[in-house]
Chains A and B, each alone.
Chain A
Amino acid sequence: MKDWPETFDIAIVGGGNAALCAAITAAEAGATVLILEAAPLPYRGGNSRHTRNFRCMHRGPLSVLIDSYEEEEYFHDLMLVTKGKTDEGLARMVIRASEACLPWMEAHGVRFQPSLSGTLSLGRTNAFFLGGGKALVNAYFNTATDLGVKVAYEAEVRHVHREADRITHLEVTVAGQPVTVRAKAFVLASGGFQADLDWLARAWGPSARNFLIRGTPYNRGVVLRDMLDQGAESVGDPTQCHAVAIDGRAPKFDGGIVTRLDCVPFSIVVNRDGERFHDEGEDVWPKRYAIWGRLVAAQPDQVGFSIIDSKAIDLFMPSVFPPIKADTIEGLASLMGLDPATLRRTVDGFNAACQPGTFHPTELDGLRTKGLNIPKTNWARPIDTAPFYGYQLRPGVTFTYLGLKVDDRARVHGTDGPIQNLWAAGEIMAGSILGQGYLAGFGMTIGTVFGRIAGKEAAAHVA
């Protein structure tokens, strides 16, 4: 095995948000840094290239953020989604540190824009990146390069070599060739394992092979697995992943944001057998978005069908693929591969259960069905106005929860205490804070805060 020609102070595994924040911070502190990115250049930036915003605490108007969003409210929001499965100390640290992230990001090339049309509800809590996450990743790579950081693409780290409480080197495949990378300190920022379908299938059962992966195919958890095998402390439920219901026609990997569908609250959703299986009108969509991935995953063949009529077609964000369209319910059913008679029966039953009332698309309008086993508790209007439209839904995995346990200095721990020269940041350790559920924009916040901590600590270690 060849050695990498230069020896760096710090080697960073991954090329997403967390890795870049660590690299920039360490380089600014004077360390020499090498980034090892498994993806080729056009796909650099992991899942970070698919993001659009980060959640930021602020005590008054800040850049594009309006009003204020203070620690208690932020923490309360986090408690709601995680149902208490969070490390309060770490969570509060991240929340407090998020306020200083925004100006830091701006100073390192990230630009922000007001919240996007269709997402007004996030204008106070989440700062949107101009151009989205890929523009952010580009800006950070430029800043890092200007600081002298070296980047190796198509460089997949296969093994993190540990001797007692130190890491000595990495075994890497660079463009197919095995290479040893030595450094004085190491930062792991290689994301989760959601792109490893075998691993998902082991955790979820074989149905996981039907899941679509919303982000990069390069986050296969190779380094996470390797560290777990070497006794690193872990956190988060290995059998859980965050999945949302997306367009069934999405690509297997990297479909990103555009494959999401916002039609569910204005629709009825049936399974392969033409039957409804959950209350579509439980709550406003952003809050319910995340549960539908699981709901669809639990149905036969991991598929669902969202059915609307022409009254609803303009009420939600446009979809990337056009809906299936037909003049009759039966016609729609055959186009979607459903049994026409069963779908007719389900729709008729639903229509008959709808009650008169005032429909309000933007708020809980209490327009509920009466007498159904599975009620629809808001926005229940008969599906009766042709043409009819349908979307196929499949579970799209956003991220996995299992990760490395870190302390407030981002250090990775073995069974007998912290490893002396190893830090972790981003999704690979996010389970330390986010044990369950998801708060929009929190992934990038965790990565930015812990990336900066890891970079600073690693640079101090080698100074």
Chain B
Amino acid sequence: MSLDHTAEARRQIEICNACRYCEGYCAVFPAMTREKAFSDGDLTHLANLCHNCRGCYYACQYTEPHEFALNLPAALAEVRVESWERLIRPQSFARLFQRHGVAMTGLLVAMLAAFFWLLAALKPTSGEGFYAYLAHGTMVTIFVPAFVLPLALIAAALRRYWVEVDGGRVTWAHLRRALQDAAQLRNLSGGQGQGCNFEEGDRYSDRRRMAHHLMMYGFLLCFASTSSGTIMHYAFGWEAPYPLLSVPKLLGVPGGLMMVVGTVYLVWLKLKADPALGAPRVWGGEMAFVLLLGAVAATGLLLYAATGTGLQAPLLAIHLATVMTLFLLMPFSKMVHGFFRLAALVVEAKKSQKAPQGEMA
């Protein structure tokens, strides 16, 4: 745990707790008013509740050059990224990929090489659609562990998180509330639907929530598409390729399009936003991750469009390489924020039952 970042976040949170002007922006402030002193676990929890909307930066009367030098979005972003880097194992992977877009690109290139080789070396003698290039059994053998193992690493990290923030026992009601908040991105609404202060300085804008919605629901649709394909394959013996009017395609094509639009939108927002209000050292890693998501979606759509043409084989290799990179990086990239954030919302649903400090006087 970096003493510097935790100590700095604690210093700022203690100022906020004496002020509370930003209480209406997000869940972080009501959460902090429950305490007077903040353990490292409390800070980890608060940091994962913050989604860097920056409302509390532009509203703060104590930002630099004031000697209190508040920049809560940045302070919490540092602690947040650090909590992922600390709780995910192996930590060195997390540190490498959270920070460096170049490392991510390197992994992608390696995966590209691997899949071009695979397709050339293991070309099956029979099979339809994609399976004409790579047998179904081979794909399952490669992708199932690449999906399940990272998820197991994340699960282990969430357990550590739970201990660190003293999550305790949760009920269905807590889970339901957290899922509701996450589904609506309630906290990203700025408290009143006016949105963030992300890309336009002190003016509010709801664009980041829109972009995030496109990305998140696009991703979930694509995920549902793949899942439905798996079910159709194993439960009904209906094998790919699927026509346009089939469940996997009806979910996957709009999902993919949403992700592509979401990527362009998020990249544009990120370029306009002030990097000093986030964790600047992971800017590159975050940007690369957004682009990776976009690449997964775009190559998937292209692959579908290229059905039956000579481009199908190379596009398949490229698409599978992006998907593989995404899977492998789930614990080590910005992707992990989804899991931690949901966990934080569940913990908060439980903890928010306690009254704020100072209510008596």
Residue numbers of A with Cβ under 8 A of B are 42-43, 49-50, 52, 111, 113-114, 116-118, 120, 128-135, 138, 142, 251, 254, 256-258, 260, 262, 265-266, 285, 313-320, 322, 361-362
Interface centre among A50, A116, A131, A258 (most CB of B within 10 A): A131
B19 touches A257 (CB 8 A): yes
Knowing A257-B21, A362-B360 are in contact, say whether A131-B14 is a contact too (CB < 8 A).
no
B339 interfacial by beta-carbon distance below 8 Å = no
B281 interfacial by beta-carbon distance below 8 Å = no
25 A-B residue pairs with Cβ-Cβ distance under 8 Å, sorted by A, are: A42-B63, A42-B64, A52-B21, A114-B24, A118-B20, A118-B357, A129-B21, A130-B24, A130-B191, A131-B55, A131-B58, A134-B58, A135-B21, A257-B18, A260-B18, A262-B361, A285-B361, A315-B361, A317-B18, A318-B357, A318-B358, A320-B14, A320-B19, A322-B14, A361-B360
A132 touches B361 (CB 8 A): no
Complex contacts, B169 vs chain A, CB 8 Å: none
Knowing A118-B359, A262-B358 are in contact, say whether A132-B62 is a contact too (CB < 8 A).
no
Instruction: Give the Cβ gap from A115 to chain B, nearest Cβ, in Å.
Output: 9
Considering only residues 95-119 of chain B, those with a C-beta below 8 Å from chain A are none
B243 interfacial by beta-carbon distance below 8 Å = no
In the complex, the 5 A-B pairs of residues with the closest C-beta atoms, listed nearest first:
A131-B59, A113-B24, A132-B21, A317-B358, A135-B59
Q: Mark B20-39, 1 if CB is under 8 A from A, else 0.
A: 11111100001001001000
B18 touches A117 (CB 8 A): no
B194 touches A134 (CB 8 A): no
Interface centre among A130, A251, A262, A362 (most CB of B within 10 A): A130
Cα distance A266–B361 in the bound complex, in angstroms: 9
A320 touches B59 (CB 8 A): no
Interface residues on chain B, number (Cβ under 8 Å)? 38
Complex contacts, B44 vs chain A, CB 8 Å: none
Instruction: Give the Cβ gap from B96 to chain A, nearest Cβ, in Å.
Output: 37
Question: Which label, helix, strand, loop or mixed, suits the secondary structure of the B interface?
Answer: loop
A258 touches B23 (CB 8 A): no
Complex contacts, B15 vs chain A, CB 8 Å: 258, 320
Complex contacts, A132 vs chain B, CB 8 Å: 19, 21-22, 59, 61
Cα distance A260–B33 in the bound complex, in angstroms: 16
Complex contacts, A258 vs chain B, CB 8 Å: 15, 18-19, 62, 68
Cα distance A75–B56 in the bound complex, in angstroms: 35
Extra contacts besides A117-B358, A132-B21, A317-B358 (20): CB < 8 Å: A42-B65, A111-B192, A113-B24, A117-B30, A118-B33, A120-B359, A130-B59, A130-B192, A131-B24, A131-B55, A131-B56, A132-B22, A133-B21, A133-B61, A138-B58, A138-B202, A254-B61, A258-B68, A313-B36, A318-B17
Instruction: Give the Cβ gap from B30 to chain A, nearest Cβ, in Å.
Output: 7
